[in-house]
Amino acid sequence: MTARPDAGLPRLLLVECPGLEVPDGASGASGASGDERLRRFGRVVEALSSVCPWVDAVRPGVCTLPIKGPTRYFGTEEAVLAQVAETVAAALDASLVGAASGAAGPTRGVPGAASGAASGAAGPTRGAAGEAGAAGPTRGPTRGVPGEAGEVRLGVAEGVFAAALAARAGSVVPAGGTVEFLAPWPVGVLGDPELSDVLVRLGLSTLGRFAAVPAADVLARFGASGARGHRVARGLESELPGYRVAGMGARLVAVLGRALALQDRQPGFWGGASAADERAGEVLTALQRRLGVEAVTVPVLEGGRGPADRCRLVPWSPAAASREPRTARRKVPPDPPWPGRLPPPAPARVTAGEHPVEVTDAAGAPVGVTARGLLTGEPVRLSVAGGPWTPATAWSAPWPVEERWWSRARRRVARLQVLTVDGTAWLLVTERGRWRVEAVYD
Amino acid sequence: MFATSRIGALAQRVRPTAASRTRLLPALPPIAALLPDGGLRRGTVVRCTGSGASSLAMAVAAGPSAAGSWCGTVGLDELGVLAAAGYGLDLERLVVVRAAPAEWAVATGVLLDGVDLVVLAPPRHVKHAAAQALAARVRDRGAVVLVVEDRPVFPAELELAVEAARWYGLAEGAGRLQSRRVTVVACGRGSAVRPVRQELWLPAATGKVAAA
């Protein structure tokens, strides 16, 4: 699979407010201080919504906003950063005043433990930082805001994970530079000690070295979670699982007691369509190695009259998937003139293999279709593959079709819909006096 | 650009999502009425049963598929792809896995790493332990499995049963199959313990699912 750096990941400005994170489970049991921190974070998010309506509260103490839109509005990225820094400072001051005037006191002195994706890592390794400098991904430190438990940190990069590291490093990573920016960071920032231990032992100590390993090998060796870290390292996926805290929007609304104009995204949303496609593609390739190429199929719709002619399942192929025409092929084709085509709705089950059917009239004589396309009798019962006789309650007129009339292999067939007393709706087809089941309207 | 009215409008749009209690995959409106959360809770198994269960599974899968999720099927080698497209599945993101019956667990387990939703028609005589193991994997992956089965073997959070089904449009020697009216009963655990009934067209004459 070809690497597509920064496949559509949005460039984000990430705001991290040390001291406002709420450890897991703290909001319920330990009560007021957790809620108070969350309320102050909610005020920050609320204030930032005036800079940009697309604020994404990722987890307590951390939110992002896309930088592109506000830059158009404020003129330069510098101006956006200045505006954001000012807004956050004002919101924190206001919320401190609010906390002081309210009864709840004990929110001061909250330890500003390092939060987030990059647990355990304060920054890229020294030597690697040199590399990063040479690659020129940073543009000088961003403005900090004096906060209660340390400076509020801002960073800009593509995707949440990279933006969090950028905030830690105080960097504005230029557009398209995220993969280079990520490369020197130690694999420990992926927050999976087991994975990073193995990677370090294999000599893959940085995100850049890890990113250079082929995706299929990573999936085979480290499974789906390793593959996810790998995609993050390659700048293909926005964030690691477990970083985002679900339901932040609802929690902030609950502590603030008012609605917020902010996004509450599903985890993985920022990965976008291309990352989901890539993830599916990798797994389908792995599945083909396990079960055989023919076992993993995707549908292709084509012209034709019967349900089996109109749809074909072809083996999945990553190469075919990445080429454009797939889109055209797999859309339902506009109805071309296929005389004798079955009207919708289509049957839910198109039977594979031969299922011969006997169809008889009230006297027990076999029912057929005449050359003029009429039934020779009323089909009052049928027996599928030698099974029990089932009375028919309704049936259609036959749809006679002469298929492949242009070739010597032409066939005259007729289709018939039959409803049996058990409520099953059948699509039968007859050819040379023999009936078989073509589909079931299951 | 950031007029208050616009932010207010956005808040209106965002609020239903923000209020959601869990991570949900979306459902089409007629199906949402059957689901306790109005969507498919990630990490759960949902059983579809009764005559028309495969159609029902497609209609349920259509919601996530239309919203961009990849969907896979295992054991549905005879899937009517035209019908699936009619119910609203995006064929661009549909994969049909034709595994040997003995390989259903491997196929489903691996597939869960790459897709949000799997429709599984298990072979007969699935071992209890294998069904439990799959359910654990579904929880772990945060995906959803719709299992099409008549005997309850898999530990499902929710069961959607087609109880009554009747086709319309076909007479004795005339007409054609046009639509099927079904009663679906949803029954589950916890907040969904009280059964919910919904009359549906499965499919309506358009080929889609609709409330009757």
CA distance B46 to chain A (A): 19
The total number of residues written for chain A in this structure: 442
CA A379 to chain centre: 50
Per-residue pLDDT of chain A (442 residues; tens, 9 = 90+): 444 443 478 899 999 987 787 665 444 444 457 788 888 898 888 888 777 767 888 999 999 998 887 787 777 888 888 888 888 888 887 765 544 343 333 333 333 333 333 333 344 543 333 333 333 333 333 444 554 456 788 999 999 999 999 998 888 999 889 999 999 999 999 988 889 998 999 899 999 999 999 888 888 888 877 888 999 999 988 888 888 887 787 788 777 776 554 444 433 333 344 577 778 888 998 898 889 888 999 987 766 666 666 777 888 887 555 433 343 344 444 444 455 667 889 999 988 778 999 999 999 999 998 878 889 999 999 999 999 999 999 999 998 776 554 455 556 788 999 999 988 999 999 988 899 999 999 8
| 3-class secondary-structure state, position A370 | coil
The token pair at B46 is 């949902």
Q: Give a yes or no: residue B176 inside a domain.
A: no
Put simply, the answer to whether A294 touches B98 (Cβ < 8 Å) is yes
- Could you tell me which chain A residue has the CA closest to the CA of B25? A266
Instruction: Tell if the CB–CB gap between B81 and A313 is shorter than 8 Å.
Output: yes
Cα–Cα distance, B73 to A307 (Å, whole number): 19
Amino acid at site A156: V
The verdict on A287 touching B (C-beta cutoff 8 Å) is yes
Facing B173 at nearest CB: one of A330, A331, A395: A395
Nearest-angstrom CA–CA distance, A157 and A163: 4
**Closest to A84 (Cα-Cα) out of A155, A9, A11, A178:** A155
Q: How would you write B11-53 as a 3-class SS string? A: HHHHHHHHCCCCCEEECCHHHHCCCCCCEEECCEEEEEECCCH
| Owning domain of residue B42 | 22-160
User: Using CB atoms, which residue from B6, B106, B171 is nearest to A290?
Assistant: B106
Nearest CA in chain B to A278: B114
> How many domains is chain B built from?
1
Write down the pTM of the prediction. 0.57
Contact predicate A219/A282, CB 8 Å: yes
The radius of gyration computed from the CA coordinates of chain B, to the nearest angstrom, equals 18
- Angle at CA of residue B42, ends B39 and B47, nearest 5°: 75
d(CA B207, CA B178): 9
CA distance A327 to A331: 6
Distance CA A164, CA A310 (A): 50
Is A291 in contact with B106 (Cβ distance < 8 A)?
A: yes
Q: β-strands A381-384, A356-360: how paired?
A: antiparallel
Residue B30 located in a structural domain? yes
Domain-embedded: residue B107: yes
The minimum CA-CA distance between A418 and chain B, rounded to whole Å, is: 8
Is there a contact between B171 and A296 if contact means CB atoms under 8 Å apart? no
A53, B6: Cβ pair inside 8 Å?
yes
Burial class from Cβ neighbours inside 10 Å (0-12, 13-18, 19+) for residue B193 reads exposed
Please, is A198 exposed, middle or buried when counting C-beta atoms within 10 Å of its C-beta (0-12, 13-18, 19+)? Answer: middle
The CATH number covering residue B87 comes to 3.40.50.300
Report yes or no: A418 and A395 within 8 Å, Cβ to Cβ.
yes
Size of interface A-B (CB pairs under 8 A): 214
ipTM of the complex: 0.86
Spatial CB neighbours of B196, under 8 Å, sequence gap ≥ 6: B33, B34, B36, B185, B186, B187
Please tell me which residue of chain B has the smallest CA distance to A329: B92
Question: Tell me: the pLDDT tens digits for B62-121?
Answer: 999 988 899 999 999 899 998 999 999 998 899 999 999 999 999 999 999 999 999 999
The answer to whether residue B125 sits within a structural domain is yes
Q: Cβ contacts (< 8 Å) between A277 and chain B: which residues? A: 70, 93
Report the pLDDT value the prediction gives residue A258, as an integer from 0 to 100. Answer: 65
Residue B43 domain-assigned (yes or no): yes
**Closest-CA residue of chain A to B21:** A247
Nearest CA in chain A to B50: A442
Closest chain B C-alpha to A136 CA, distance in angstroms:
34
Whether B110 is in a domain gets the answer yes
Cross-chain Cβ contact A73/B1 below 8 Å? yes
Q: What is the pLDDT of residue A322?
A: 46
**Rg of chain A taking only CA atoms, in angstroms:** 31
